[in-house]
């Protein structure tokens, strides 16, 4: 705003006047000899007015004018801190002083609150005020940490101590607000750092991490944090994320290995770092001096170079005079096209993590003491409660809390391992309860693995690379901790470690996610690249050892398959009335998620890490070899060794840029230091890779061209073995034609007539004639066999009665008649023609193999129990149907008397379009302390639950989700001062499940009682006294009558299911009793009418 004198003020003059007036009314330095701070008459109301200005002006209007005016008025250093110093530590009963201190912290919390650069919400005022206020916050931190008049941080704890002392059930909303306010103040002080793009003019040692840790230790903040963490879940609940944030900003980017060193080891490590840096500087200077400028080349130089094609090129600079390679390099640089690349966006998450932190020896000692106490008492309670809070998505949980949670779990697990290592080196003998892994067992249980896998897949799907980096770090440290447990020598720890590894490696979805992460690396940060390569390195190494120990290792795979129903209506214009009974829901494709276990093959899994994209990821990581540690270089070395020699995919490394990188690492101007512990290993690896490359070039000269390009799997296989991969293209298993049944119960001759009529309508007379030919051949063979048997029986010699001869139960059965198709089309028809298959079954043909294993090459036979007379009758029925086809009502064909046989429903997890309950969790409810086989069944399996199919999100949908998530977080941040309360969780009960269970039990009992009642009043049928002859098709007809009686709506009989069940059981018993009775045989030469009359009469006699 332009003032009257022509100057410009970025803050409205009235706002500045109000703020200055309030600051003046607050108080000032006393004129007395002591020089203490003198409060104004209404100091408490003035502080509350300032809080209202911040809340209702800056926050409501999204401006920063009040904060800017407060900074320029020097309110914090000149007024608030002196006011806090007027409250002595021994004055515990002064309510006015306590209220004044609380009002001061209510102002200091919003003034030190972290600033978020949200492009959607930022205004001109944000760009004007943010740089100034960020430096102002650094000044606030320096004043609070180094204030000599009082222990400001300790005073904050004194303000919240009365509220903390109240039991959690008796705390009011105001008490909860005070505790949160103090924790937010501690969090803000811990996280304030100088802006990375602004130079801080003050002494950075006063605001460094070392100074912060020293202040937290001196003012007893560490003790408070330990108290809150160890009692989390009992006396404190909603404060879990705040405590976690404070610890996160204290330990992030701290070198854990140095943390557990003593003074001698630490000084030795620092001296080693200095020597390494000096050696790197020396090698850089040598490489620069080879081609760098000298004292005599300060004049311009331009030379002409004659190329191979005879043309001339001009080059400038005296470095072109050095050698031919330099001149060629300058020409290549001048003609290489480099597309413009946009500057990488600055990420607040990277700034949040920051650079590695350097601490002094005093800070190392203080932080090490706090970390050891936290591991002993507060690790399990805090992180177990935070995990539950994240899982239930509590209102006070932000998105960055998940990232901080996984980062801290990984950091403290590594700290525990380093503490064990330090104790072993110092030859200490800790007690069993401290040295056991129970101190970190809270993150090694089943619930933690579920949360970890969920976060792994969600962050990968949403492309949240920073959270995914934290998840990968956590996964890696869990693997390393479990590996130490397996090598501890304690049987209990080894058993728990084996159980934990079996659960971590059980899900194939986890294997797929890790392979996807390392394969899809593009241009993420170096931290992401380091975490991904570290996870893959340890995952492969530990999984390989575990799979060797457990040869029968099983993994569970979840895949989505598609199944379709083929339309069975061939007649146009006629609807199928039996679609409801054909065993399918509709003709559209329906999705099915199948879950199955299969044996794990590590060699097959390891090949997923040999494609060119994975090799490129490790090459990108190795390009930082000058800045990598020995452990990181060893990680890359092990991967390239696995690819070149274990996986036998060395051709993946035969690319010009990769060979050039390997050469520069050993012989280049900026090569690895020969004093490095991994130099010899890398030198041997590069030597062997180059040797294999030269041998392969001699074997296959075409590799010289392929070295310019990346290689696919087929190209790499050909270059490696000299021939193309022999793959067998196996399509999905062919299924036979659908089985047909008759709608209405018919006699055998009627059934054959219907099927023959349907085939004649479809112009399939050739198939009918072929079946008749097969039946005729079989009949002739059977008659010849029976005649031979009769002759053999008549010429047998009379045997001595004294001789014991084995008695035969009956006449010898004829041999099986094999049905052989005459051509390929006939074989296909036997597999795919439903009508032909039905006719073959009606006339006595059967499959030799089980129906579930049927293929187009399966053999059909005529079994031995089918006599020649039966075959003759079948031929007669077919001839009769051909001569006089069956007729039906107008417009109805023979095939309309058939329908598809109902298929049993499969119990599968079908996807639908409606919301359903989520799938079962990926793991069982057991924890890692109980060792059980994975495939052991606890009881009856639950029915699968329907789940909505997951589709791949587009970039617009991901962006929309991110915006919605940021908006929700912003709303939560804006409401932290107006709504500070905790909703205790309701007790989770299973009343609804119990009620549903007992309802099902009552329904089952009612059905059983109904069946018993029907059985008591049903008359028992008499046993038949006469023998009865049953036709060959009677049992089939009666079974179809029962099916149609229960499923056909046109029959006017409504039968009870219990009655049908008992009747079928009794009929089966009667058939078994009469199974041994001989059936009536038809005389030769009888016509069809006589056969029908005799069969009807026999049926009547049999059912008397």
Compute φ and ψ for 652, nearest 5 degrees.
-65, -25
Please count the CA atoms within 13 angstroms of the CA of 688 that sit on its side-chain side. Answer: 15
Q: Give 3-state DSSP helix, strand, coil % of the chain, rounded to 5.
A: 60, 5, 35
Helices 446-462 & 508-519, crossing angle to 10 degrees? 40
Q: Would residue 816 count as lying in a domain?
A: yes
Give yes or no for residue 1033 having a pLDDT over 60.
no
Give yes or no for residue 430 having a pLDDT over 80.
no
C-alpha closest to that of 14 among 27, 30, 26, 3: 3
Give yes or no for residue 991 having a pLDDT over 80.
no
- Residue 742 pairs in a beta bridge with 898
CB count in 10 Å sphere of residue 553? 19
C-alpha distances out from residue 771 to 774, 821, 1088, Å: 5, 10, 20
pTM of the model: 0.67
Specify the range with the lowest mean pLDDT, choosing from 48-57, 322-331, 633-642, 873-882: 322-331
Are the C-beta atoms of 883 and 875 separated by less than 8 Å? no
Number of H helices and E strands in the chain, helices first, is: 43, 12
Verify that 751 and 615 share a domain, yes or no.
no
Of 702, 725, 748, the residue that ends a domain is 725
Per DSSP bridges, beta strands 909-910 and 860-862 are unpaired
The confidence score (pLDDT) of residue 304 equals 79
Domain span including residue 655:
610-725
How many angstroms separate the CA atoms of 642 and 644, rounded?
6
The confidence score (pLDDT) of residue 1030 equals 38
Are the C-beta atoms of 835 and 762 separated by less than 8 Å? yes
Verify that 893 and 1035 share a domain, yes or no.
no
For the residues 290-318, what does the mean pLDDT come to?
A: 71
For the residues 256-276, what does the mean pLDDT come to?
A: 83
How many angstroms separate the CA atoms of 153 and 182, rounded?
9
- Sign, CA dihedral 352-481-633-608, equals negative
Outline where 261-398 has alpha helix (H): 263-291, 324-335, 348-353, 361-377, 379-391
Q: Would residue 874 count as lying in a domain?
A: yes
Q: Would residue 360 count as lying in a domain?
A: yes
Verify that 173 and 227 share a domain, yes or no.
no
- Pair of tokens at residue 783: 């008659």
Verify that 184 and 157 share a domain, yes or no.
yes
Verify that 250 and 177 share a domain, yes or no.
no
The confidence score (pLDDT) of residue 224 equals 95
Verify that 141 and 240 share a domain, yes or no.
no
Please count the CA atoms within 13 angstroms of the CA of 785 that sit on its side-chain side. Answer: 17
Q: Would residue 14 count as lying in a domain?
A: yes
The confidence score (pLDDT) of residue 557 equals 81
Q: Would residue 433 count as lying in a domain?
A: no
Specify the range with the lowest mean pLDDT, choosing from 104-108, 277-281, 506-510, 706-710: 277-281
Give the model's confidence band at 657: pLDDT under 50 very low, under 70 low, under 90 confident, else very high.
Answer: very high
Most confident of 187-196, 223-232, 428-437: 223-232
pLDDT, one tens digit per residue, over 931-940 is: 443 334 444 4
How many angstroms separate the CA atoms of 1032 and 870, rounded?
9
The confidence score (pLDDT) of residue 892 equals 81
pLDDT, one tens digit per residue, over 111-139 is: 999 888 877 778 888 888 888 899 999 99
pLDDT, one tens digit per residue, over 2-45 is: 555 545 678 888 889 999 999 999 988 877 756 788 888 889 99
Give yes or no for residue 648 having a pLDDT over 90.
no
Of 900, 932, 960, the residue that ends a domain is 900
Of 852, 879, 900, the residue that ends a domain is 900
Are the C-beta atoms of 172 and 191 separated by less than 8 Å? no
DSSP state of 505: T
The confidence score (pLDDT) of residue 479 equals 94
Most confident of 397-406, 891-900, 909-918, 999-1008: 397-406
Give yes or no for residue 520 having a pLDDT over 70.
yes
Count up the domains in the chain and report the number. Answer: 5
Verify that 856 and 709 share a domain, yes or no.
no
What is the pLDDT of the chain when averaged over all its residues?
77
Verify that 159 and 53 share a domain, yes or no.
yes
The confidence score (pLDDT) of residue 1070 equals 39
Verify that 19 and 90 share a domain, yes or no.
yes
């Amino acid at each position: 705003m332009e003032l009257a004198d022509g100057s410009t003020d970025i803050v409205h003059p009235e706002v500045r006047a109000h703020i200055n007036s309030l600051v003046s009314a607050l108080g000032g330095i006393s004129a007395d000899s002591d020089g203490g701070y003198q409060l104004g008459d209404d100091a408490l109301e003035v502080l509350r007015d300032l809080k209202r200005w911040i809340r209702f002006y800056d926050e409501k209007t999204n401006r920063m004018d009040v904060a800017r005016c407060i900074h320029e008025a020097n309110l914090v250093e000149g007024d608030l801190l002196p006011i806090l110093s007027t409250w002595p530590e021994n004055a515990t009963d002064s309510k006015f002083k306590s209220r004044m201190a609380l009002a001061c912290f209510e102002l200091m919390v919003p003034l030190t609150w972290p600033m978020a650069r949200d492009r959607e919400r930022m205004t001109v005022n944000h760009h004007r005020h943010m740089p100034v206020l960020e430096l102002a916050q650094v000044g606030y931190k320096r004043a609070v940490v180094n204030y000599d008049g009082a222990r400001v941080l300790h005073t904050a704890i004194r303000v919240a101590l009365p509220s903390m002392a109240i039991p959690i059930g008796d705390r009011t909303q105001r008490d909860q607000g005070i505790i949160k306010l103090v924790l937010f103040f501690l969090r803000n002080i811990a996280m304030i750092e100088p802006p990375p793009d602004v130079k801080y003019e003050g002494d950075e040692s006063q605001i460094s991490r070392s100074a912060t840790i020293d202040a937290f230790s001196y003012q007893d903040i560490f003790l408070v944090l330990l108290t809150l963490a160890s009692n989390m879940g009992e006396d404190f609940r909603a404060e879990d994320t705040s405590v976690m944030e404070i610890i996160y900003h204290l330990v992030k980017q701290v070198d854990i290995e140095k943390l557990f060193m003593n003074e001698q080891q630490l000084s030795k490590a620092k001296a080693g770092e200095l020597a390494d840096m000096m050696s790197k500087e020396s090698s850089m200077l040598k490489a620069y001096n080879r081609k760098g400028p000298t004292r005599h080349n300060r004049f311009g130089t331009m030379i002409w170079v004659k190329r191979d094609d005879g043309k001339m090129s001009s080059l400038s600079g005296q470095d072109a005079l050095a050698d031919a390679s330099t001149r060629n390099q300058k020409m290549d640089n001048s003609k290489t096209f480099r597309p413009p690349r946009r500057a990488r966006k600055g990420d607040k998450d990277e700034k949040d993590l920051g650079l590695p932190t350097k601490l002094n020896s005093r800070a190392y000692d203080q932080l090490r003491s706090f970390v050891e106490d936290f591991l002993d008492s507060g690790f399990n309670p805090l992180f177990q409660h935070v995990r539950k809070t994240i899982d239930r998505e509590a209102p006070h949980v932000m998105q960055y809390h998940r990232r901080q949670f996984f980062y801290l779990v990984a950091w403290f697990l590594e700290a525990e391992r380093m503490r064990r290592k330090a104790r072993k080196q110092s030859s200490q003998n800790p007690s069993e309860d401290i040295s056991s892994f129970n101190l970190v067992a809270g993150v090694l249980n089943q619930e933690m693995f579920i949360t970890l896998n969920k976060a792994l897949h969600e962050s990968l799907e949403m492309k949240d690379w920073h959270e995914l980096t934290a998840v990968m770090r956590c996964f890696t440290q869990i693997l390393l901790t479990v590996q130490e447990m397996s090598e501890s020598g304690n049987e209990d720890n080894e058993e728990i470690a084996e159980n934990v590894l079996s659960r971590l490696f059980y899900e194939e979805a986890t294997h797929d996610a890790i392979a996807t992460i390392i394969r899809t690396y593009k241009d993420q940060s170096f931290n992401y690249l380091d975490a991904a390569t570290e996870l893959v390195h340890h995952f492969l190494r530990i999984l390989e050892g575990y799979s060797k120990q457990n040869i029968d290792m099983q993994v569970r795979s979840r895949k989505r398959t598609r199944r379709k129903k083929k339309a069975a209506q061939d007649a146009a214009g006629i609807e199928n009335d039996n679609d409801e009974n054909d065993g399918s829901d509709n003709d559209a494709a329906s999705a099915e998620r199948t879950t199955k276990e299969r044996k794990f093959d590590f060699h097959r899994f390891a090949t997923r890490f040999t494609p060119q994209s994975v090799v490129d990821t490790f090459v990108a990581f190795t390009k930082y070899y000058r800045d990598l540690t020995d452990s990181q270089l060893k990680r890359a070395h092990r991967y390239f060794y696995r690819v070149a020699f274990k996986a036998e995919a060395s051709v993946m490394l035969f690319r010009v840029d990769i060979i050039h990188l390997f050469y520069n690492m050993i012989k280049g101007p900026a090569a690895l230091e020969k004093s490095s512990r991994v130099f010899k290993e890398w030198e041997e690896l590069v030597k062997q890779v180059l040797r294999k490359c030269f041998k392969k070039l001699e074997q296959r000269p075409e590799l010289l061209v392929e070295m310019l390009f990346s290689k696919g799997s087929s190209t790499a296989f050909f270059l490696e073995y000299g021939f193309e991969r022999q793959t067998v293209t196996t399509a999905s298993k062919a299924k036979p034609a659908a089985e047909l049944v008759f709608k209405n119960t018919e006699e055998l001759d009627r059934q054959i007539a219907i099927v023959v009529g349907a085939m004649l309508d479809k112009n399939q007379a050739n198939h009918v004639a072929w079946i008749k030919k097969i039946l005729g051949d079989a009949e002739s063979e059977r008659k010849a066999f029976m005649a031979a048997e009769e002759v053999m029986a008549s010429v047998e010699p009379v045997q001595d009665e004294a001789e014991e001869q084995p008695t035969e139960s009956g006449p010898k059965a004829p041999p099986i008649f094999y049905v052989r198709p005459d051509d390929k089309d006939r074989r296909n028809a036997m597999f795919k023609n439903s009508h032909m298959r039905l006719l073959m079954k009606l006339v006595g043909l059967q499959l030799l193999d089980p129906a579930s294993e049927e293929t187009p090459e399966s053999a059909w036979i005529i079994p031995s129990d089918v006599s020649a007379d039966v075959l003759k009758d079948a031929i007669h029925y077919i001839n009769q149907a051909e001569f006089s086809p069956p007729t039906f009502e107008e417009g109805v064909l023979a095939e309309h008397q058939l329908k598809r046989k109902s298929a049993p429903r499969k119990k599968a997890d079908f996807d639908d379009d409606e919301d359903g309950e989520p799938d079962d969790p990926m793991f069982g409810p057991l924890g890692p302390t109980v060792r059980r086989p994975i495939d052991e069944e606890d009881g009856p399996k639950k029915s699968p639950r329907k789940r909505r199919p997951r589709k791949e999100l587009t970039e617009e949908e991901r962006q929309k989700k991110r915006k919605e998530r940021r908006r929700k977080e912003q709303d939560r941040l804006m409401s932290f001062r107006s709504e500070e309360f905790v909703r205790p969780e309701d007790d989770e009960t299973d009343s609804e499940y119990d009620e549903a269970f007992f309802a099902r039990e009552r329904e089952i009992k009612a059905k059983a009682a109904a069946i018993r009642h029907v059985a008591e009043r049903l008359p028992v049928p008499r046993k038949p006294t006469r023998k009865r002859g049953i036709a060959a098709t009677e049992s089939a007809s009666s079974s179809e009558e029962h099916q149609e009686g229960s499923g056909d709506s046109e029959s006017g009989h409504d039968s009870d299911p219990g009655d049908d069940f008992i009747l079928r059981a009794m009929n089966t018993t009667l058939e078994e009793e009469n199974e041994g009775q001989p059936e009536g045989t038809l005389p030769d030469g009888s016509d069809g009418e006589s056969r029908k009359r005799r069969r009807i009469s026999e049926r009547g006699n049999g059912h008397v």
